Structure formats: C-alpha cells, structure tokens
Amino acid sequence: MSGVTFQQVTKRFGDVVAVDQLTLDVLDGEFMVLLGPSGCGKSTALRMIAGLEEVSDGLLTIGDRVVNHVPPQDRDIAMVFQSYALYPHMTVARNIESPLVANKRARVDADERERRVKEAAATLGLEEYLGRKPGELSGGQRQRVALARAIVRRPEVFLMDEPLSNLDAKLRTQTRLELVELHRRLGTTFVYVTHDQVEAMTMADRIAVIADGRLQQVGAPQAVYERPANLFVAGFIGSPPMNTLRGVVSPGTPAAVTTPSGTVRVADRGTAADDTEVVAGIRPEDLSVVPPGGEGVVGRVENVELLGHERHLVVSCDGHVLVVRQDNGEPTPAVGETVTLAARPEHVHLFDPAGSGRLN
Amino acid sequence: MATDRRSPALATAGWYVLLSALSLLVLFPVYMLVLRALSNPLEYIAQGQPLYPVQPEWDVFATAFSEADLGRALGLSALVTSIIVVVQLLTSVLAAYAFAFLEFPLKRVMFVMVVGTLLLPIEVTLIANVETMRTLSWLNSVQGLTFPFLATAFGIFLIRQGFLGVPGELRDAATLDGYGHLRFLFRVAMPMTRPIIGSFVVISFLGAWNQYVWPRFATDRQSWQTVQVALRSIGSDRVDRLNIGFAAAIVAALPLLALLIFFQRQMVRGLTAGAVKG
Amino acid sequence: MTDLPGAEAGAEDLVRAAPTAPLGPRSGDGRRRLRDALMAYLFLLPALVTFAVFAYYPLYRLFWYATHRQPRFRNRPPTYVGFSQLWDSLTSRDFAQGLLHSATFMLYTVPLGLVLGVVLAVAAHRRLRGIKVFQTIFSSTVATSVAVASVVFFTLVNPEVGYFRNVTWLSLNDPTSAMFAVSLSSVWQNLGLTFIVVLAALQAVPEELNEAALLDGFGPVRRFFRVTVPLISPALLFLAIVLVIHALQAYAQIEILTGGGPAGSTETLLYKIADPKNIRSLDLKAGLSIGLFVLTGLVAFVQYTLLSRRVHYGD
Ligand SMILES: Nc1ncnc2c1ncn2[C@@H]1O[C@H](COP(=O)(O)OP(=O)(O)OP(=O)(O)O)[C@@H](O)[C@H]1O
Ligand SMILES: [Mg+2]
C-alpha cells in the first residue's frame, strides 16, 4: 500500500493550465476527495495519477516511486470512471477479469483468476450477473461491475472520477455508504473526484478543495467546514452557502465589524487590523433573529423557505442577501418585516477582501 | 398523395395499386431476362416475342456452365472478390486504427494522401495502371486483378468513424487494464464496431464482385474473364445462343441477391453511410 | 471564477517538498511515443503503398504519357514534347465529344433517377401489411451490376431481339435516341440505391415534425415539399453526387449495349479513354484521363463545399 504525493505538479494543455503547481500529500490508506467546481482540474489531477495524462512539471510519487514517466499499466492503480467504461461486448465476468488478462505483468493463472473474480463479485453482490453483458444491467449494477473490475487487481491506489453521478439520488446515497465500507474493508488509498460537497463531506477522511487548477485547502471535512481557508472555500462548502458582509474593523475589544446595515461582533479578530476593510463570513446556522433594537444587522425579510425540518429566512440588508437557518420552533417573522440579525461572535470568519485569504 | 381522411380502406387499396404498379415497373426488366433465358431463342423470336416463355429449356443454366465456361468465370470472380474483401478489411482496419487512436508525425499529410485517392478512381488511372501491369507482365493474373484494390479510402474513413465512436473513458480503462495496441484493436475496438465492419464487408463485396472496367482491361484472354466481363459477349453471340448469355447474367446476380436478402441491414447501413452523416 | 491565491491555509496537512528529487527516467514517455509512431506507420504502410503504386504513381504516369510522344517504332524511346500535347488532347474533338456525351448521359440519368427514387421511397414509406415485400422489390436492383443491368436491358432495347425494338424513342440504331436507351439501364440499375437512401432519410424524419405540420394545417402535398424535402435534402444531394460520379464512370452499359455507336453517338469520355478497339494514341488517352481527373476533382469539390455548408437543418 502507498500514498500519492504531488510536488509542485503542473499540467498544461497548450495555453490552458489545468493544474497549477499542485502540492498535495495523499496519505497511505486515506480516503482523499478532490472537490471543486466543474473545469477546476480535478479530473486532470486524477488522470495524472493514473498516467493517462503526462505531468508537465513537478514530481508525482506513488508510494516511494516517482511515476512521472511510468506507463499507466505499471502504476498499480485502478480507476473507476463516471461512465463506468465497461466493455459492452464482454460479459460481466470477462469485464471483471480483464485487468488480470490484458496486463502482462498482472497476469495470474486461470484458477487464481477465477477465484479472484468470484471474490470481487461476491464483495459487490454480483454473483448472479456474471454471465450477463453490461447492457443487460441497471446503472447501479454496472457501477458495481466497474468497482469489481477495480478491486480484482488489488491495486495500491483506487482512483474514482465522479463514479456516482450517473446514479439516481437514492442509489447514490446507498452507494456512498457502500464505498466508505469498501474503503474500510480494503484499507487502500482512495482518491475520489467529485463536485458534490455532500459526497465529499460524507465520505472523505480529508478533502482537497481545488479551484482554477489550484489547491485552496486540504483538511478533514469538519475542519474545512469550520475554518475555510479563503472566501472561495467558504462559499463552496456548506449549503446554503456562507453569508458574506463587507465592513470595516472597528477599534476596541471585543472586536466588531461595522457594516452599512449594522454591527457584527467577532470573538477572534486574528490579524485584521483596526479600520481595515474585511469580509465577514457567517454561516446561516450562526445567525439568529434578535429583538428589535439589539445589536446586529438590520434587514427586510424577503422570503421564508419552509423545508419541513427547518426554515430559511432570506433577508436583504443593504443590497446583501443573507440566509438565516431557523429551527421550526422559533417564531417566524413575516415577509416584509424588518428584523435584526445577530451572529455568534465565535463563529464569525474574517477574510481579506483583496487576497480573499482568512484573517482569523 | 393519399386522401386518407375520406375512406381509409379506399386509400389503402389505392396505395396497394400504386405499389404494385411500381413493382411491375421495377421487375418487368427482370422478368424479361428470366423469360428470355428460359425460352428457346429462335422459337421465341419466331413466335413474335410474346410475354410468356416459349419452349422452356430448363437446362440452359447447365449449358452455361458446360459450354460458356461460366464455372471458371464464377470461380475467378469468387477468388478475386475474396482476396479484395479480406485484404481491404485488413488494410482499412489497420489504417483506421492509426488515424483514430495513434499520434504520430505527418498524420495530417498521410490523411490527406488517403483523401486524395477519392480523386483517383480506377477509371481515371485506368490507362496508366494497364501500362504498369503490362510492364510487370501482370496482365491476366490474380495479382493484376486484385492489387489495385487492396486498400480503399472509403473503408478507412468508415471504420475510422466507427473507432472514433469508442468512448474515451473506455480507451482509458483499457489502457489501465493493460491492453496493448493489438490487443485493444482485436479485443475491444473491432468487436465494438462490428456493425460498421459488417457494413463495410458487404459494400466491399458488392463493389468487388460487380467490377467491370478494371478486369475488362487488366486481362486480354478469355480464360481470365471474370463473370461480369464474360457477360459482354452477349452482343456478339449468335442469336440461337442468346439464352445462355441471359442465363449467365442471372447466375452472376445470384450471390448479390443472397447478400441483399441475408445482409439487408448491413447493406442499407453501408449504402447510406455518408448520405445521412454528410 | 475569481482569481484566488494558491494553497495557503490548511498547511498543517500539507507537505511542501521542494522538487529537488530527480524526475525519474524520462525515457518512458519518449519510448512510448516512438513505439506508437512506429506502430502507426506499420499500420498505414499497406494502404499507403497500395495508394502510392496504384493511384499516385499512375497519376504521374498519366502526365508523363500526356507530355511524351510514343515512338513510331518500338525500339525507340518516347520523346518529350511538352504540355502543349496535353493541351491539344484537352482541346481535341474527342474530348469535347466525350464530354458532351457524358453530360448527356448525366442529364438523362441524374434527375430521372432521383425523381424515381423519391417516388418509390415515398410510396413504400408507410405502415401497410406486406410493405417489406415491396421494399425488398424496390431495393432489388442493388443486386445487379452494371454488366447485369446491361444484359437485362439488352432483352428490352436490342435492335434485333429486344422487346421494345420497334419503339423509336428507345432505338439503339438512332443516334438521337441511343444514349437515352442506354441511360435507362443505368436509371433502372441505380433505382435500388436511390430507393434505399431516400427511404432511410424519410425514416429518419421525426414523426412529430409531420404531425406538427399536420396540425399547422398543411395539406399532404405542401407538407411533402415544405417539411419532408428539406429534411431529406442531404440524402438527395448525396445521391445526386453519387449519380453524377456513376455517370462519369459509365462504361459497361455502353460497351454491352451499343459498342459506342451508332456513329460514336454513345462514346462517353471514359469510353474514349478505355478505347476497347484501341484506335487512339496513348498520349491522347492519357490527356483525356487527366480531363476526367479534373472533372472528378470538380465533383468532389462541389460535394465537399456543399456538404460542409450543410444543405439541411444542421446538427
Ligand atoms: N485534453 C485536454 N485538452 C485541452 N484542455 C483540456 C483537456 N482536458 C482538460 N482540459 C482543460 O483543463 C481544465 C480542467 O479540466 P478537468 O477535466 O480536469 O476538469 P474537472 O475539474 O474534472 O471538471 P468536471 O467536473 O467538469 O469534470 C478545463 O479547463 C479543461 O477545459
Ligand atoms: Mg472531470
């Protein structure tokens, strides 16, 4: 088993820089999720691990071997694709065994092969479908065949590129659990690409957030959620996304940010100096409605979204739209009403509006 | 156009009448051929060329084989056609693979070279190719009849198009599984493009079997005539032997009739390739 | 997307190692690329050699023959006389006549062939019991070669023994009608192809379009010309070009039915090139071949520009 290390890895397609100086250490046995919006370069990063794209610059290591120029079939990795990429003309059994047949180095004798196919099929509950062709399977079954084909070769690293995006919502939730379970059982390194933050949050040991080809932050899901490194991560992780308010740090303790629509108390001002402009970030659940006249920002309720288990108040404050997450038990303001919103000071994030980096 | 609103039954009947009339139009020439093949030629003319057979001679087909050397001509056609189809398939698949899946210097130049042959059908190069064959002493030879057709731009384009339809992720998966080029070609790319390859084989067979101009001029001995070329003697045959020539024409069309009946889908797909896609 | 600085926070998880380690054996990619290229050349070799020897070299030879005069005596080498000889061939009576006859053949075969193909396809494009039988009948002439079709028409139009020997407008003995009679054999032989292609195009027209046009109140005739014809126009264009090429390459039907006569009135360009009675000089035939090459190129050019502009709704 082995981890994967990117050292200043860059990938260029002509003028397009798809991955820009990526430095990232995927630990041995870890479930690492590469998360980012469409086109940010996460598939490219994954395909470089697989050897499907050449590294333009930097060092890529699997285990303790630099693999920049190692051909894909010699890298000891397996990959699950978004479209599953099953051979349509082969039976499930032949699909699963194909890495053991096609790859000269991985070839094993027929008995061993059959044993391993059986084992992989059993792991994923595919025994009864071994004789069928992919076209005769449901989407979820095909997905499992792709997984079986990956595990049959017992690779050092599993690579998955949005493997759940072709499944319906219910199946996606179920397969998420199964993948986590599979990871636990195999104990192998997983590198998993997705743009779905729920997948990332629920499955990952650690998340690497990527935007525009650059790494934004790496960390455990909860850590990334609680301490987003910059405005991008703050806005990308969490649903509904973090509210942002521009303001000026007022002198004095405890610190506060003065915005056109009111004051936001901050427990930790970090490196934010007095009288500088900052962006205050507040998660919807950290905002609450306080009695009129209290300290906070004042705005007008534009909409109340009822979600059953909770409510979202959409409040407009001097051009900014803030979303407040409320429990059903709390009193509901009416649409059009003016409300005062206060943030929990220990949960206010401060960002530099110019560089967008975190200040506290 | 139908007046289907008024009386569906009447309209349907009308369509059947029209379809039958058109069928008659298409089939009448064939009927005449069969009629003339079966009738005794002189008696038929003597009776004023009626629309029914006169003194049917069913052994005319046997006579064609025994007297007109039809068996030899058919054998040569079969041999030449088989060689052309098999080798064309091979050269087209290999070239298509290179164009679809491999990167190499001068790829564009080579592709243009393939496209360029569309301007150089055998009709254009006939004179020069015949002279080449004369120089090589390949007139009246199997290699002379087949070599100019061992590769075809149509096949390369068609199969390349099929290969390009293999999804990128599937190619990546095959790479990771460790497929080499030959293995990928024969185990994945070709099986996945079987319908297109089938169409190509049918069209290639059609073209090779039906050839006339090249075998006509690449040979100057009767013993090297393919069945199509042998048909030309009809114009110089004695009138009392015309039925043999007519019978030979029927026999020459039979393999293709079988092709049409058993491989209709492939044939339609092959003939319409390019028409719909552009 | 906003421009954001690179990885900064979360640095506790981030191992920043300067890329000082060697890049590993670089040769891996290079060797793979070389191997791919060699493989590609190997794969292309059979096709390209065939094309070089039997398409491109002959093209060169055509120009060579067209610019050299063959010696009167076999033991002397041909002499270079220059492109003026090619020019003479291309301005010769033979070329003009062959061109005229080929054009006449085209005029008789292309429009008629298209119209009949459309008629057959429209008639057979409907849900009726036994329609498959009719479709098979209409496709059947694809099973005939030009030679077979010529023999078939021999039974119809041969001046001595043909069924229509007394029909003057089909007479092969009359220079004014001979070409038309020969053309009919090609029209008939091409029916299968045109039918198949047009039918496939009709079947590709989405049913909703016809239904929408029906709801819009178009009558069947207007529906056909306003909806169907534009949608099948790429197929019709393709067929027109194929039929033009077939016409340029017409040979067997002429040799079998008329032998070029009467009075050379059915000698198309290719017939003059192939020259079965061997009465023309090699340099003239080479010159005529170059003319045919240019015509083929023109057709291909038209085909290419039309197809790349796309006559239809595009996709
Ligand atoms: N083969 C290629 N040639 C040129 N540009 C490419 C190529 N592959 C990817 N790119 C570019 O690199 C960038 C990153 O692409 P990548 O596929 O890694 O994005 P992604 O994060 O996986 O997005 P998605 O979520 O949509 O799959 C994009 O701008 C893309 O256009
Ligand atoms: Mg992607």
What is the interface size between B and C, counted as CB pairs within 8 Å?
285
Strands A157-161 and A77-80: parallel
CATH architecture of the domain with residue range C88-310: Orthogonal Bundle (1.10)
pLDDT band at C80 (very low <50, low <70, confident <90, very high): confident
The pLDDT of residue A4 is 95
- The confidence score (pLDDT) of residue C308 equals 66
Helix (H, G, I), strand (E, B) or coil at B243: helix
Whether the Cβ atoms of residue B7 and residue B220 lie closer than 8 Å to each other: no
A18 and A120 co-located in one domain: yes
Size of interface A-C (CB pairs under 8 A): 92
Annotated domain spans of chain C: 88-310
pLDDT in tens, B199-209: 999 999 999 99
Three-state DSSP at A17 gives strand
What is the rounded average pLDDT of the residues B127-150? 96
Please give the share of chain B, as a percent, with pLDDT higher than 90. Answer: 69
Q: Do B173 and A85 touch (CB under 8 A)?
A: yes
Query: Residue C230's pLDDT is what?
Result: 86
Cβ count near B86 (within 10 Å): 13
Q: Whole-angstrom Cα distance, residue C50 to residue A268?
A: 79
Residue holding tokens 């997905």? Answer: A143
DSSP A357: B
DSSP element (H, E) containing C29:
helix C27-51
DSSP string, A286-308: GEEEE-TTSSSEEEEEEEEEE-S
At C208 the pLDDT is: 80
Instruction: Tell me the nearest-neighbour CA distance from B192 into chain A, angstroms.
Output: 7
The CA distance from A103 to the nearest CA of chain B, in Å, is 4
* Mean pLDDT score of chain B: 90
Q: What percent of chain B has pLDDT over 70?
A: 96
Position B275 confidence tier, pLDDT thresholds 50, 70, 90: low
Nearest CA among B105, B167, C33 for reference residue A71:
C33
Q: Which of A165-169, B20-24, C65-69 has the lowest mean pLDDT?
A: A165-169
One-letter amino acid of A153: R
Say whether A83 and B187 touch across the interface (CB within 8 A).
no
Determine how β-strand A157-161 pairs with β-strand A262-265.
unpaired
Say if residue C15's pLDDT is above 50.
no
Higher pLDDT pick, B236 / C205: C205
Spell C250-285 as b/e; 16+ CB within 10 A means b. bbbbbbbbbbbebeebbbbbbbbbbbeeeebebbbb
Give pLDDT, residue B6. 53
For residue range B178-199, list pLDDT tens digits in order. 898 999 999 999 999 999 999 9
Q: Which of residues 147-206 of A touch C (CB under 8 A)?
A: 206
Ligand nearest to the CA of A53: 1
Task: Let me know whether A258 and A280 are in one domain.
Answer: yes
Least confident of B96-105, B106-115, C70-79: C70-79
Identify the domain containing residue B10 by its residue range.
2-46
Residue A271 structural domain: 241-351
Segment A194-218 shows an average pLDDT of 94
Q: Are B95 and C39 in contact (CB under 8 A)?
A: no
Amino acid residing at C242: V
pLDDT for the residue numbered B165 = 92
What's the rounded Cα separation, in Å, for the pair B257 and B251?
10
Domain edge (last residue) among A235, A268, A298: A235
Q: Which of B117, B148, B122, B91 is nearest to C47 (CA)?
A: B91
* pLDDT for res A158: 94
Whether B143 and B194 map to the same domain: the answer is yes
Q: How confident is residue A90, by pLDDT bands cut at 50, 70 and 90?
A: very high
Instruction: Assess whether A231 and A318 both reside in one domain.
Output: no
Confidence of residue A1 (pLDDT cuts 50, 70, 90): low
Domain contains A356: no
Token readout for C155 is: 């039974």
Residues B208 and B131 both lie in one domain: yes
Number of domains in chain B: 2
pLDDT of residue A7 exceeding 80, the answer is yes
Question: At A156, is the secondary structure helix, strand, or coil?
Answer: coil
| CATH (domain of A263) | 2.40.50.140
Of A25, A37, A68, the CB nearest to C23: A68
Distance of CA A305 to the CA centre of its chain: 26
Q: What is the token pair recorded at A189?
A: 């390194």
The answer to the question of residue B53 being in a domain is no
* Structural domain ending residue among the three candidates A182, A216, A235: A235
CB B129 within 8 A of CB B143: no
Total residue length of chain C: 315
Q: Please give the pLDDT value at position A356.
A: 79
Structurally, how many domains does chain A consist of?
A: 2
Question: Average pLDDT for residues B229-248, to the nearest whole number?
Answer: 86
CA–CA separation, A339 and A287 (whole Å): 12
**pLDDT for residue B204:** 94
CB-nearest partner of A72 from B176, B187, B192 = B176
* Cα B70 to Cα A174: distance, rounded to the nearest angstrom: 70
Is residue B90 a part of any domain in this protein? yes
Average model confidence (pLDDT) for chain C? 84
In a domain, B57, yes or no: no
Ligand 1 neighbourhood includes A41 CB (under 6 angstroms): yes
Q: Residue C25: which pLDDT band, with cuts at 50, 70 and 90?
A: very low
Residue C238 clears pLDDT 70, i.e. is over it? yes
Same domain (yes/no): A210, A263: no
Give me the mean pLDDT over the B57-68 stretch: 86
Q: Are strands A57-62 and A65-66 parallel, antiparallel or unpaired?
A: antiparallel
Q: Phi and psi at residue A281, in whole multiples of 5°?
A: -115, 130
Position B268 in a domain: yes
Relative to beta strand A256-259, strand A243-250 is antiparallel
Residue that is last in its domain, among A177, A209, A235: A235
pLDDT given at position C31: 78
Both B88 and B188 in a single domain? Answer: yes
Return the minimum-mean-pLDDT range out of B83-87, B265-269, C47-51: B265-269
Tell me, what CATH number does A13's domain have?
A: 3.40.50.300
- Global pTM reads 0.87
How confident is the model at residue C18, as a pLDDT? 39
Indicate whether A209 and A88 sit together in one domain: yes
Q: Are residue A120 and residue A149 in the same domain, yes or no?
A: yes
Average pLDDT over residues A17-28: 94
**pLDDT above 50 (res B14):** yes
Please give the average per-residue pLDDT across B208-236, as a whole number.
92
- Mean pLDDT is highest, among B42-46, C2-6, C245-249, for C245-249
- Average of per-residue pLDDT values in chain A: 91
- What is the pLDDT averaged over residues C274-297? 92
Which CATH number covers residue B233?
Answer: 1.10.3720.10
Instruction: Record the tokens describing residue C16, joined without a space.
Output: 């920043």
* Same-domain check for residues B252 and B160: yes
Nearest partner of C181 among C202, C223, C153, judged by Cα: C153
Q: Which two tokens stand for residue A164?
A: 């759940």
Is residue A358 in a domain? no
Q: Which residues of B touch A104 (CB under 8 A)?
A: 178
